[in-house]
Structure 1
Amino acid sequence: MKLLYSIILIASFATISAQNPAADSLLLILKQTKNIHSTTKLQNQISEAYQSSDPHEMQKFANFALKNSLKNNDKIQQAKAHQNIGISNIILGNYQQAVDQFNLSEKVIVSLNDDSKNVKELLAKTLGSKGLAFSEQNRYAKALDCDLRAMRIYEELGNRLQLSKICNNIGVIYNSIDDEKKALQYFLKANQQKEENNPAVAVSASNIGLIYLNQNDKIKAKKYFDESLIGFETNPNPRGLGELYNNLGRYYVSENQSDKAKEYLMKAEKAFESIEDQFGISDTFFLLAEVYFGEKNFDKSLEFADKSLELSKELDLPETRMKCEKLLSEIYDQKGNQQLALLHLKNYDLEKDNLEKIKNEQKRLNTELNFQYEKSQLEKRDSAEQDRLKLILGFLILIVILGSLFFYQRNKEKQQKILLQKQLAEFEHKALHLQMNPHFVFNCLAAISSFIMQNGKADAMKYLSKFSKLMRLTLEFSKESAIPIDKEIEALQNYLELEQLRFNQKFDFKINKDSDIEDDTAIPTLLLQPYVENAIIHGVAPKEGKGFIKINFSQKDDQLICTIEDDGVGIESSKELKKDSVNAHKSMALEISKKRLETLEKIENKKVGLEIEELKDAIGKTLGTKITLKLPLNFIKN
Structure 2
Amino acid sequence: MKKLHLCIALWILTTGFCVGQKKKADSYSEYKSRSSQSSVAELLRNAEMAKSSNAAQALDYVQEALGMSLAQGDILNEARCYLLLGEINEQITEWTLALENYNKAFQRLAVRFSASPEYSKTLRGMGSTYLKVGNYEQALSYFQQALQLKTSALEKAELQVSVSEVYYQQGNYQQALAATEAIAVNQKTGDEILLGKIQNQKAKIYARLKEVDKANDFYQSSQLNMRASGAAAPARDEALKQTKEEISGALREQKRFDEDISLRNQAIDYNLESNNLNEVSKDKIELSKSLVAKGETTQAIQQLQEAATLADSIQNSKDEASAYLTLATLYEKNNRPSEALKAYQKYSRAITRQAEQTEASQQERAEILRKQKEIESLSNEVIAGQRAEQTLLQQQQLTIYGLLVLIAIILVTSYFIYKSAQASRRANQLLALKSLRGQMNPHFIFNALNSVNQFISQNDERAANKYLSEFSRLMRLVLENSQEDFISLQKEEEIISLYVKLEHYRFRDKFEYSITIDETLNKEAIQLPPMLIQPYIENAVWHGLRYKEEKGKLELAFHQHNNLLQVIITDNGIGRQKSAQLKTANQKKHSSTGLKNIEERLQILNTVYKTQYTVAIEDLQADSGTRVVISIPVTT
Q: TM-score, normalised by structure 1?
A: 0.46
> Which has the larger share of helix?
2
Structure of greater relative contact order (alpha carbons < 8 Å, 6+ residues apart): 2
Q: TM-score, normalised by structure 2?
A: 0.46
